[in-house]
Amino acid sequence: MSESQRPRTPPPLIAVAGFAALLAAIPLIYIGVRVGEGGIDGILAVLGRPRLPLLLVNTIVLAASVTLAATVIGVASALMLTRLRLPAVRLLAVLAVLPLAVPSYLAAFGWLAAAPGIHGFWPAWLVLTVVTAPYVTLPVAAALRGTPTALGDVARTLGYGPARTFGLVVWPGIRSAALAGALLVCLYVLADFGGVALFRYPVLTTAIHQAYGATFDRNYAAVLAMILVVLALIVFAGERAMRPAREFGTGRQGAHEPVSAGALTPLAVAALLIVPVCAVAVPLASLIGRLINAQTVRELDVDRLVAAIGNTLGLSVAGAVLAVLLALPIATLVARYRGAIVQVIETAGSLPLAVPGIVVGLGLVFFSLLAVPALYQTAAVLAFAYGVLFLPKAIGTIRGSIERVPRSLEDVSSTLGYGPFARWRRVTARLARPGILVAALFIAVTAMKELPATLLLRPTGMNTLAVELWSKTDISAYGAAVPYAVALVVLAAVPAVLLSPRTERLPVEVER
């Protein structure tokens, strides 16, 4: 019944969502402008470079392999965390998402300090996989809690083995979440610079940074960025093709009893520890080792550290609020309606994640000087930049939680005389609130680590933890970098801990 009689997409919603998508597309527009300046000749010249095939192949191989590995690890972690009876499972759940707090450049830097000389594909693959695995673990764990285990029990009483039960009962329930997470991982890898540059694994993003660093050739950089966007479009098409047409059955918070893993328990715990050890423990430990061995330890400027913490906190919270506000209309539209315009809006809203931060930063310099010159180089523009930059990350999460709101409840509220907006506000948004909160925390933690756009857009003289960290590591002042690295990880760990699978449910029922 519902499929064929789905209501027409309301024009006001399209307008609001379209506007939000337009803001998110600023970096794409900027790339278009710069590529346009170079003309066809400019594009052809870049495509003809002998090094381009290597960059392209490296980029694709890295993105594909990290996405695959992070998805497998993420799904496995989520299953173990939600379905097995494990010792200290709260702690394990927190540790599983802690890598979110570690910027890829910091992880790479720490690994390099621990094992000098490692380089090339494998270290880049390892570091990116462990820092991105939580992007899959989180949504999948959330979806698993929404899938009643009763169905699994039924499957087992019918004599199905674990593999078949997973394929028939579990996977349909988490497929959408796993794909959304995998998409984020893939876009993260396409745009990442820090995790690959230090390992000397040449990809499109490192070439873009080189172009700005020595050739001052903005058109060349733009053409490379455009190639990244095209790759992202292909990834999107793939995700679309695999995304289930309809969300699988959704009892909210299906009660489930974790099962004992028996003799395999230590193995499961060890497996869950791999990601946090590789992403957090090794890098921090090796940096602290550098601090201890350093000959000259500069005195720590406490006021400066405190100021950086305050700035980081304020900016990331403001950015998260803005991103969620912009993502809400897009996510509502995508969750509830189908059609060409809906897909265009969703794609335009999500693509910019594949654009390297430095290009996004320049795009926003371009935009803010054009549209709001008075606000240029103010904290407002930087917070707005975070909002635009990370809005795509919020769309998937919020979409998923809106999809899980039973449509029948919305129908009931309609019969009670609520208008569309009141219905959305009092039913849909309220029930989707956990997802919205998760999205906000998620963005806050990402914004804290953001570096390239922050460097370009921050008010002159304003420092964040990421900027301080950058300036210390840039001059090989490893010792001086440690307090900032620790502060950044601790600060970002707060939202990460709140995000960890077992606590995420908390805020929902408190207020009614």
Partner 1 sequence: MRRNRILITGVAIAALSLLASGCAASEPTPEATEEGAPAIESDGNVVLYAGRSEDLIAPLLEQFTADTGIEVDVRYGSTGEISALLLEEGDATPAQVFLSQDAGALGELTSAGLASTLPAEIAGAVPAGFTSTDDSWVGVTGRARVIAYDGEQFTEDEVPDSTNDLVAPEWSGQVAFAPGNASFQSFVTGLRVLEGEEAADAWVGGMAANDPVLTESNGDSLELVNTGAAQFGLINHYYWYAAAAEAGEENMRARLKFLPGDPGGIVNVTGAAILAGAEGDPDAIALVEYLLSDAGQTYFVEETYEYPLVPGIAAPEGLPALESLVNPGLDLSDLESLAETQELLAAHGLI
Which positions from 374 through 393 interact with partner 1, judged by CB under 8 A?
376-377
CA distance 247 to 446: 28
Q: How far is the CB of 456 from partner 1 (least distance, A)?
A: 5
Q: Extract long-range pairs of 444-447: CB within 8 Å, 24+ residues apart.
A: 444/316, 444/317, 444/319, 444/320, 444/495, 445/100, 445/101, 445/316, 445/492, 445/495, 445/496, 445/499, 446/100, 446/390, 446/393, 447/315, 447/316, 447/319, 447/320, 447/386, 447/389, 447/390
Enumerate residues 180-209 that contact partner 1 by CB under 8 A.
Answer: 197-198, 200, 202, 206-207, 209
Q: Taking contact as CB under 8 A, which single stretch among the options 87-95, 147-155, 373-381, 406-414 is the one that binds partner 1? A: 373-381
3-state secondary structure of 311: helix
By CB under 8 A, residue 369 contacts partner 1:
yes
Q: Looking at 5, 157, 295, 415, which residue binds partner 1 (CB under 8 A)?
A: 295
Q: Which is nearer to partner 1, 133 or 191 (CB)?
A: 191
Q: Tell which positions 254-273 bind partner 1, by CB under 8 A.
A: none
Return the residues of window 105-134 that contact partner 1 according to CB under 8 A. 112, 116-117, 119
How far is the C-alpha of 459 from the C-alpha of 389, rounded, in Å? 18
- Considering the complex, what minimum distance in angstroms separates the CB of residue 479 from partner 1? 7
Q: Two tokens at 459? A: 């008010």
d(CA 247, CA 3): 12
Give the residue with the Cβ less far from partner 1, 28 or 98.
28
The yes or no reply on residue 22 touching partner 1 (CB under 8 A) is: yes
What is the rounded CA–CA span in Å between residue 13 and residue 134? 32
Question: How far apart, in Å, are the Cα atoms of 176 and each of 57, 136, 271, 410?
Answer: 28, 11, 24, 22
Under the binding rule (CB under 8 A), the answer on residue 33 touching partner 1 is: yes
Other CB atoms within 10 A of residue 407 CB: 12
Residue 365 is a binding residue for partner 1 (CB under 8 A) = yes
What is the size of the binding site for partner 1 (CB under 8 A)?
Answer: 73
Please report whether residue 212 would count as binding partner 1 according to CB under 8 A.
yes
Our finding on whether 82 is near partner 1 (CB under 8 A) is no
474 lies in the site for partner 1, by CB under 8 A: yes
**Is the CB of 36 or the CB of 244 nearer to partner 1?**
36
Query: Which range, of 420-428, 471-479, 482-490, 496-504, touches partner 1 by CB under 8 A?
Result: 471-479
Among 471, 486, 502, 508, which residue interacts with partner 1 (rule: CB under 8 A)? 471
Question: C-alpha angle 102/283/58, rounded to 5°?
Answer: 75
Given the complex with partner 1, which of 476 and 503 has the nearer CB atom? 476
Classify residue 512 as exposed, middle or buried by CB count within 10 Å of its CB (0-12, 13-18, 19+): exposed
Instruction: Give the x-and-dash track for 216-255 against partner 1 (CB under 8 A).
Output: xxx--------------x--xx--xx--------------
Q: Angle 453-455-461 (CA atoms, 0-180°, nearest 5)?
A: 140
CB contact at 8 A, 397 and 434: no
Min dist CB 215 to partner 1, Å, is 6
List binders of partner 1 among 331-360 (CB under 8 A): 340, 343-344, 347-348, 351, 358
Does 480 bind partner 1 (CB under 8 A)? Our answer is: yes
Residue 456 interacts with partner 1 (CB under 8 A): yes or no: yes
Q: How many CB atoms lie within 10 A of CB 126?
A: 20
> Contact 287/113 with Cβ under 8 angstroms?
yes
Of residues 167 and 244, the one with the C-beta less far from partner 1:
244
